[in-house]
Structure 1
Amino acid sequence: MEYIRISSIEDPLFRSLHQLMTEVFPPEEVLEFSLWKEPLEDPGIRVFVAVHEGEVVGTTEYRYYPDWNVAMTDFTIIGREGLGIGRFLATSRLKDLQALAAAEGQELLGMFAEIYDPYRVEDFAFGGVKPMDPFVRREVLSHLGYQRLDFPYVHPSWLGDGEAVTGLDLCFMPGDEERTSLSAGLVADFLTRYYSVLDSKPQSWHAMVEQLRSADKVELRPL
């Protein structure tokens, strides 16, 4: 299996990647095809596909923030079962991020990720691919070391319509397993920069960020 970076919407592999996203994720979670041009050309956004026998069978997007020494996993998609795609993507991504942190003379502080909570909302549909089942995905993140940041989380819809998307948790996988909390200011700064690409955000999102800025730290809880 090959781990290949995508940096242009003209790359034939990107069309397969985008089709995989539309098959797996709900519409409000998928950026329209043409709007990917700038993100893919951004050197700070890393989009990779897992290619098996010439076919895109999985993908992951993530980014590294050297000033905070943290990363964010935007998404991970497993398109077929029985190939070890999840493990392949996770280990390849971590190696890449560790190399990026090492180039900055640091050891990676940790990585953010959003995850659906199917125990609160039960009608998520993920294209019928069993490894993408929200219960499975949540347990996989727990096995990888992710923990839930303990605050009510909401994020702006990627449709750009200013609607709030709920039913998710913001999680963090600390590099130090003994870490029990994260600076609330870091979380607020991260979310502000991460969602700066969306001009329209719901009031509930702004209120959430302000509440974080008034706090000292956010506890890490088990998934």
Structure 2
Amino acid sequence: MDYIRITSIEDPLFVKMHELMKEVFPPEEVLEFELWKEPLEDPSIRVFVAVHNGDVVGSTEYRYYPNWNIAMTDFTIIGRQGLSLGRFLAQNRLKDLTELAKENGKELFGMFAEIYDPYQRGDFEFGGVKAMDPFVRREVLSHLGYKKLDFTYVHPSWKNDGEAVAGLDLCFMPIDDQLEEISSELVVDFITTYYSVLSNKPTQWVQMVEDLKKREMIELLPL
């Protein structure tokens, strides 16, 4: 199995990846095909696919922020079972990020991720792929070391229609597993930068950010 980076919507592997995304993710979580052009060409956004016998069977997108020495896992897709895809993608992603942090003269501080909370909502559909079941994924990410940030989280819909998407937690995986809290300033700086591409922010998201600005630290809770 190969771990291959995609940098263009013209890449045939991207066509296969985008179709896989539409099969497993809710519509509001999938960016339109043409809108991927600039993100894929952005050197700070890293999109990789797992290729098995010519087929895209999994994918992950993430990015490294050198100023904060943190990463963000945008998504991980397990498209086929029985290939140890979760481990394959997680190991290759961490290896890549470790190298990026090393080039930055540092050891990676940690990684953010938005994680579905099926205990809030039970209507998530993931194309019938059992490995993508939100209950399963939540436990897997807990095993990887992700912890829930202690606040109620929403994010702007990627449709840029001003709607707030709930039913997720913003989580953080510290490289130092003993870390119990992170600065609220880091969280605010990160999410405002991450969603700067969307011009139409929902009121709930704006209020959430304002509330976070009033806090100094945010506790990391068990997931």
Smaller-chain TM-score range?
over 0.9
Name 1:157's counterpart in structure 2: 157
The DSSP-based 3-state class of the residue aligned with 1:131 is: helix
Please state how far the C-alpha of 1:120 moved relative to its aligned partner: 1.1
Name 1:190's counterpart in structure 2: 190
Aligned residues: 223
TM-score, reference length from structure 2: 1.00
Name 1:46's counterpart in structure 2: 46
Please state how far the C-alpha of 1:22 moved relative to its aligned partner: 0.4
Name 2:175's counterpart in structure 1: 175
What are the ranges of 5 or more consecutive residues in structure 2 without an aligned counterpart?
none
Name 2:9's counterpart in structure 1: 9
The DSSP-based 3-state class of the residue aligned with 1:153 is: coil
Q: Distance in 2 between matches of 1:20 and 1:218?
A: 35
Q: Which amino acid aligns with 1:95?
A: K
Q: Distance in 1 between matches of 2:47 and 2:140?
A: 20
1:81 paired to 2:81: yes
Q: Distance in 2 between matches of 1:131 and 1:194?
A: 27
The DSSP-based 3-state class of the residue aligned with 2:189 is: helix
Q: Which amino acid aligns with 2:167?
A: G
Following TM superposition, where does structure 1 have runs of at least 4 consecutive aligned residues deviating by more than 2 angstroms? Answer: none
The DSSP-based 3-state class of the residue aligned with 1:58 is: strand
Q: Which amino acid aligns with 1:14?
A: F
Q: Which amino acid aligns with 2:141?
A: L
Q: What is the alpha-carbon root mean square deviation over aligned residues?
A: 0.4
Q: Distance in 1 between matches of 2:207 and 2:107?
A: 33
Please state how far the C-alpha of 1:11 moved relative to its aligned partner: 0.1
Name 1:222's counterpart in structure 2: 222
The DSSP-based 3-state class of the residue aligned with 1:101 is: helix
The DSSP-based 3-state class of the residue aligned with 1:141 is: helix
1:109 paired to 2:93: no
Please state how far the C-alpha of 1:92 moved relative to its aligned partner: 0.1
Q: Distance in 2 between matches of 1:211 and 1:176?
A: 27
Name 2:140's counterpart in structure 1: 140
Q: Distance in 2 between matches of 1:29 and 1:76?
A: 12
Q: Which amino acid aligns with 2:56?
A: V
TM-score, reference length from structure 1: 1.00
